[in-house]
Structures are given as structure tokens and as C-alpha cells.
Chain A
């Protein structure tokens, strides 16, 4: 238990100790919020869809949590060669504990980022429907964080070099964000987009967030939650497996 705790704590400390990184990681969602949120608002309102900032904010929260948690897992690639991960791999501790400590550390950082971006959204005019909505919304933040920290762990344990790291960052993270309904409603999409958005787990996370925070559902609570739970469990198990196979 001590081992899991200290590895979890390490991730939190790293986050809290690098203010530059905290601010940097909020720059992209902040930019999207301001440029797209205000930029598309007139069109969105004209189309009778209400306020675009309201619509987009839950998507930005989902995006931030996904990026933060996925990268915490992918950092394993780096850390096993040049960081303290290598030390933990020769310690008399089962690898599963190490994986659990790190993954949940990364997921917790994702949740903290989610809180920060929610505050930022509220500064730019976002209003959740009720205070209790924020609490149930964070159930989805936690699910997104866990799912993608697990997925990041799979990738970080499997990759061998930095080139593939960049490829993954560009070809996995961004498509997932853009095909999740974070930026646009999922109604009346062309067939191919419809299929892609439905197989993307982030779609259900963003939908859950939007549903709980502003009462706008595309799927429904039960579907979103159960799908994310299943995907999360699969990613965590596969993450633990690939982590156990790391050779340094």
C-alpha cells in the first residue's frame, strides 16, 4: 500500500511543483475556448442551438483531462530509460503496484487539471445548471482520466522510441478530441463520422459531462457511464499487462 501511495504522491508533487507546466497545459484549451467559443457563438446561436460557450466548455474539460492523463502514461517511455521508473522496476515490488500507483497518479493529475479548466470556463462565462451538477460531472471526469491514463500506459509500455511517441500524440490524441463531439453536436453527422464518433470512448465522456453539467444529452447517463467503465477496465487490465512486459 505504501508503495502505491508514494508513487501516486510523486505524480501529484510533480504536477504541483511545476507551475509553468500547469499554465502551459491550460493554454491550448484556453485558446480554443476564447477563439472558437466566442468566434462560433454567433453562428451557433443563429442556428437556434443556444450559447456555444455553454456547449463547448464540457468538451474542453474532457479534452484537457484526456490529454493530461494520456500523456502521464506515455511518459513511461521516457521514464523507464532516463527517470526513476527504472529504479522501481528492479525493486522488490510487484510491477502491478507500480503500475497502479503511476496510473492513478496520472489520473488524479488529470482530475486536478479538469478542476482548473472548469474554473477557467466559468471565468469566460460558462454556467453549470446547478452546483450538484458539478459533482456528478466529476464522476465523468474521473472516468475519462482513468480510461486514458490506462490507454497511455499501454502505449508508453509498448513504444520504443521518441518518433513513435510523436506519431501517437498527433494521430491518436487530436483525432480523438475532434471526433468526440467536444466541438460540435453529434446529430445528423455523415455516416463515416457517425461511426467514428460512436467508437470513440471520449464521445461518451464528453456526452456525460455535457449531460450532467448543462443537461444536454446525446446518449444517456447509463450508457455513458457503463461504456466508460467497461473501456476503463479493459484499458487498465491491458495497461497492467503491457507494463509487466517492459524490458529496459
Chain B
């Protein structure tokens, strides 16, 4: 479903992604792990047509996102690290906008909106403004929206960031359910290794722009002789801290936290 061959991305002199290759099978939940600055987000951006790769190839369900952008975009849904909902519109309006952007006919839109909002337990709140939603509800709405056009692949970039354990638990239950019932391929990143351990069929670990290990959770533990995925992760990536300079996005994020990010 996702096939990546020798993918690289270079920003001026900095090589953020250094020739990684992997594939994700249809219906698989693949967790993409790594310390901050490992190149995970850059990789997701290349997979989702936001950034152009410097070299290497990506295929999403057989389509190249660099050359068949519009067709490839219909194949996936994405939940970004930072919310991309419109707080000034209702949950229903956010969904409606998505349906129009994905060229869904009016009748299909209405059906899918009802179905997705019901699945994610938001149908009763459909007329409420999104700015009034809790963090967990917003995440659920974003996933519901990302799935509205029935994509074959769902990208989740740190979907549980800032959520309480209850919301996290509920979110993963939904994601697993969806993967089982609709056979959606799921590509996720998270820093909560126990979550990856719980939901992912296979795991890839990235560090310093390279994919340093991949396999099932059991395989990674065996490979490192560790008893938990967290220990395996630390054995593979070392325990030194990664201090990145804050980029423009981090500065904006900080500003958003101070001034309230709901525009």
C-alpha cells in the first residue's frame, strides 16, 4: 500500500532523510517511531505531497505523489500534529468543507458525515462550534474528517499529543476498530511507545535520518534483548537527549500556546 525506496530529503546542507526504504502492506498498522529531529515528520510530509523528495521514490497504492499529486491525495487522509480544524465553524460544517474539497456529491457527503460522526460519537454535537470541543473531541473529529472520503491510507502524526489517558485509550480503540472493519492502512507516529506496542502490527524506528530497525514489536525486543518496546527503543537510539533548535514552526506553536491557537 505504501512503498518507499531510497527516499532522501536535503535542506540546503542538512540531510534530514538519508535514503530510507520500507513498505507497508494493505490493512497494516505501521508505527513510525524515533526521537525528536529523527526525520519522521519530514518523511510524512514527503509521503503526503507536502514536500518534494530530493531523490528516491514513493508509491501510495501504486501512485507517485510527486507526479500524480491530485490522484494520490484522494488515496489518503491525514491528521496533523497541530489541529487543522476550523474552530469558528460547527463540526458538521468542518465535515461538509472536507467533502466539498474531496469532490464528494452532496448526497454521499450527507451520508458519510452522519456515518463518521456517529462512529466517533460526535453526531449529537454536530451543531456545536469546534472551538468549544475538548482536545479529545477535536482529535476524534479530525480522524472522522480524515476518513470521510474513504481513503485507503490514514496518516496520523502524533494523534495523542496532549490528550489525557482516557481520550488516548478511546482514540486507539476507534483506530483499531476502523482498521479491522474498513481495512484502512494506518501509518502513525507517536512518542508513547506503549501505544505503538498496543496497536501497531509493525514498527519502524528512525534516527538521524535513517531507518535503523523495523519489524514487529516482538522482533524488536528479541533483536535487542529488551523486555519492553521502550527499552528496545532506547537500546537502538541511545539515551542521549536530542536538542534541536526551535524552527519557525516551533516558535509559532509556542506563540499559539500563549495566545490561544484557535483561529
Contacts and interface: CB of A to CB of B under 8 A. Distances in A.
B70 interface: yes
A193 to B, nearest CB: 36
A90 B151 CA distance: 13
Q: How large is the interface on A (under 10, 10 to 19, 20 to 34, 35 or more residues)?
A: 20 to 34
Contacts of B253: 81
Nearest to B69: A92
A86 B80 contact: yes
A86 B84 contact: yes
A90 B263 contact: no
A87 B251 contact: no
B199 interface: no
B185 to A, nearest CB: 17
Contacts of A75: 263
Nearest to B249: A81
Contact of B86 (A84, A94, A162): A84
A88 interface: yes
Interface string A1-40: 0110010001001100110000000000000000000000
B251 A161 contact: yes
B48 interface: yes
B224 to A, nearest CB: 35
A14 B98 contact: no
Interface in A56-91: 75, 78-79, 81-91
Contact of B97 (A10, A17, A81, A86): A10
Contacts of B49: 90
A10 B89 contact: yes
B252 A88 contact: no
A191 interface: no
B51 interface: yes
Contacts of A91: 73, 98, 101-102
Interface string A189-213: 0000000000000000000000000
Given A10-B89, A81-B253, A88 B101 contact: yes
A3 B101 CA distance: 6
A90 B48 contact: yes
B195 interface: no
A93 interface: yes
Interface string A89-108: 11111100000000000000
Q: Which 7 A-B residue pairings sit nearest by Cβ, starting from the closest?
A: A91-B101, A84-B86, A160-B248, A92-B73, A86-B84, A87-B84, A82-B261
Interface of A: 2-3, 6, 10, 13-14, 17-18, 75, 78-79, 81-94, 160-162, 247-248
Interface of B: 45, 48-51, 69-71, 73-74, 78, 80, 82-86, 88-89, 93-94, 96-98, 100-103, 145, 248-249, 251-253, 255-256, 261-263
11 contacts: A6-B96, A81-B249, A81-B253, A82-B252, A83-B86, A84-B89, A84-B97, A89-B50, A92-B70, A92-B101, A92-B103
